[in-house]
């Protein structure tokens, strides 16, 4: 077991990474207050809900099971959580437990941020993507048909419990999607981690436990450092959005759930690498090397050809990083060093949006 801390003063919390954590009451007890509502979905419930409730047996517990899918990450679905909480008279001292991937984590976190103006919650991420990214840092929310993650709040959990054993039931496609966010951490901040990933991508795809544990730990360390420095994304935290302005446009335009978040982020990062190259910030060689890693991870490296430049721009200008109508993008200066720019040359951007990625 390995524990990291997100250092946010009084709101600091641990990320506990280990195996078979779910079945252990000691994992949860220090972080639980009041009644406990476990929120999960109908794919995860048959796998892990009983185990989690058993570990929480010393507490007054209930559960709510939502339909599975990114398409349900929306305001209407939240009502099922609020109805359960209200019907069972959960008060302000309660604890919500998000048992699932990023969709459950984001929705449960938002319910916790808003129920009776804010209650505690514990993140129990069960996908690689959620363990390396979405469960950490307190971004919560839901999608709108007009834009991804457009309604939400910053609300930090009281603990993150990343039980690596849950990854054994994850599909290969979801595992690869999680690798996109792992690789992102190497691209933006850590050339050594990028090189480690180049050497260990086959082991990660083969679900080697030691390699996976290191990838989760290193990703969480990188994210913990960034979140501690800039909780509300006024500066450096924006770097974690490499590829996201393009990627969120892909997810929204293709219909939520058709492209997995990690897949869209992979193609989005390829577009950010293309623009970085066009602007002379990285070399052709660096671009090819970075794309090769995404390819080796089995991730898409071409955006869907069905999205035209106007549609991309429409979604991109609704991005949360847009301030005063000014697009802000995350680009690379080199592998392991990202930067934020609002000085985007529109002609170069159009070239990126209309480029032929078929030989990538
Ligand atoms: P997801 O939550 O949809 O989970 C993927 C699929 O795997 C689902 O069908 C789920 O039911 C299933 N699943 C989950 N755990 C499983 C397990 N252990 N075994 C078998 N099946 C399992 O998708 P995700 O990739 O985890 O998360 C994507 C979401 O996270 C997106 O909505 C994205 O916007 C969000 N996100 C948020 C942040 C943040 O900082 N809050 C960061 C990155 C991504
Ligand atoms: N996933 C981006 C962030 O947490 O800031």
**How confident is the model over 41-72, as pLDDT tens digits?**
999 999 999 999 999 999 999 999 999 999 99
Q: How far is the CA of 186 from the centre of ligand 1 (A)?
A: 21
Task: Report whether residue 261 contacts ligand 1, using a CB cutoff of 6 Å.
Answer: yes
Check pLDDT > 90 for residue 247. yes
Record the tokens describing residue 13, joined without a space. Answer: 């919390």
Specify which residues 97 forms β-bridges with: 38, 122
Q: How many domains does the chain have?
A: 2
Is residue 335 within 8 Å of residue 289, measured between CB atoms? yes
* CB of 233 sitting under 6 A from ligand 1: no
Ligand 1 centroid from CA 206, angstroms:
20
Q: Taking the CB of residue 105, how many other CB atoms lie within 10 A of it? A: 29
Q: What is the predicted pLDDT for the residue at 321? A: 84
Assign 186 a pLDDT band (cuts: 50, 70, 90): very high
Q: What is the CATH number of the domain that holds 315?
A: 1.20.1090.10
Atom of ligand 2 nearest to the CA of 233: 5
Q: Is 181 a catalytic residue?
A: yes
Q: Are both 33 and 87 inside the same structural domain?
A: yes
pLDDT at 360: 78
Cα(123)–Cα(115) distance, integer angstroms? 16
Judge if 191 and 300 occupy the same domain.
Answer: yes
Q: How far apart are CA 113 and CA 37, in angstroms?
A: 14
Q: Could you write out the DSSP letters of every residue in 26-77?
A: HHHGGG--SSEEEEEETTTIIIIIHHHHHHTTTS-EEEEEEPPSGGG-SHHH
Query: Do residues 238 and 161 share a domain?
Result: no
- E-assigned strand segments in the chain: 2-6, 13-18, 36-41, 61-66, 95-100, 120-125, 139-144, 147-154, 159-163, 329-334, 337-341
Task: Answer yes or no: are the C-beta atoms of 32 and 176 closer than 8 Å.
Answer: no
Q: Which atom of ligand 1 is nearest to the CA of 149?
A: 34
Residue 360 placed within a domain = no
- On whether residue 104 sits in a domain, the answer given is yes
Residue 171 reports pLDDT greater than 90: yes
Q: Tell me, yes or no, whether 182 and 162 share the same domain.
A: no
pLDDT score for 170: 98
Catalytic site residue 2?
A: no
The last residue of a domain, from among 169, 195, 216 = 169
User: Which phi and psi angles does 154 have, rounded to 5°?
Assistant: -85, 125
Using the 3D structure, point to which of 153, 169, 185 is the last residue of a domain.
169
**pTM value?**
0.97
- Going from the Cα of 347 to the center of ligand 1, the distance in angstroms, rounded, reads 35
Q: Summarize pLDDT for 130-158 with one digit per residue, the tens.
A: 999 999 999 999 999 998 999 999 999 99
* Same domain, residue pair 152 and 185: no
Question: What's the pLDDT at 320?
Answer: 87
* Co-location of 141 and 190 in the same domain: no
Domain boundaries, position 255:
172-353
Last residue of one domain, picked from the residues 150, 169, 188: 169
Q: Are residues 144 and 263 in the same domain?
A: no
**Is residue 46 a part of any domain in this protein?**
yes
Q: Specify whether 342 is located in the same domain as 210.
A: yes
pLDDT digits (tens, 9 = 90+) for 87-124: 999 999 999 999 999 999 999 999 999 999 999 999 99
Task: Identify the nearest ligand to the CA of 155 by its number.
Answer: 1
Share of the chain above pLDDT 90, in %: 95
CATH of the domain at 144: 3.40.50.1970
Instruction: Give distance in angstroms: CA of 238 to centre of ligand 2.
Output: 8
Q: What is the pLDDT of residues 278-300, one digit of tens each?
A: 999 999 999 999 999 999 999 99
The one catalytic residue in 35, 73, 139, 176 is 139
């Amino acid at each position: 077991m390995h524990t990291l801390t997100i250092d946010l003063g009084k709101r600091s919390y641990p990320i506990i990474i280990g195996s078979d954590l779910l079945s252990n009451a000691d994992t949860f007890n220090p972080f639980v207050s009041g009644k406990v509502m476990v929120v999960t979905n109908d794919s995860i419930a048959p796998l892990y809900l009983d185990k989690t409730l058993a570990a929480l047996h010393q507490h007054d517990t209930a559960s709510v099971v939502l339909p599975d899918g990114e398409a349900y990450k929306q305001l209407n679905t939240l009502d099922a959580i609020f109805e359960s909480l209200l019907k069972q008279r959960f008060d302000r001292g309660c604890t919500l437990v998000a048992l699932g991937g990023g969709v459950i984590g984001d929705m449960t976190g938002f319910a916790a941020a808003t129920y009776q103006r804010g209650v505690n919650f514990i993140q129990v991420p069960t996908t690689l993507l959620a363990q390396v990214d979405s469960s950490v840092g307190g971004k919560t929310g839901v999608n709108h048909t007009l834009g991804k993650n457009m309604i939400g709040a910053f609300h930090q959990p009281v603990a993150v419990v990343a039980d690596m054993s849950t990854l054994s039931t994850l599909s290969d496609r979801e595992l690869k999607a999680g690798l996109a966010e792992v690789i992102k951490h190497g691209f933006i901040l850590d050339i050594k981690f990028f090189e480690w990933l180049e050497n260990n991508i086959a082991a990660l795809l083969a679900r080697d436990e030691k390699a996976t544990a290191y990838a989760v730990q290193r990703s969480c360390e990188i994210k913990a450092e960034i979140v501690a420095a800039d909780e509300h994304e006024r500066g450096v935290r924006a770097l974690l959005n490499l590829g996201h302005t393009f990627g969120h446009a892909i997810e929204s335009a293709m219909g939520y759930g058709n492209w997995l978040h990690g897949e869209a982020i992979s193609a989005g990062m390829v577009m950010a690498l293309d623009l970085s190259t066009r602007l002379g910030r990285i070399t052709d060689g660096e671009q090819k090397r970075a794309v090769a890693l995404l390819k080796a991870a089995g991730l898409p490296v071409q955006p869907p050809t069905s999205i035209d430049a106007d549609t991309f721009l429409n979604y991109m200008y609704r991005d949360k990083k847009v301030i005063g109508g000014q697009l802000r993008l995350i680009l690379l200066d080199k592998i392991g060093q990202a930067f934020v720019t609002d000085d985007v040359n529109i002609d170069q951007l159009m070239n990126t949006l209309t480029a032929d990625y078929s030989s990538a």
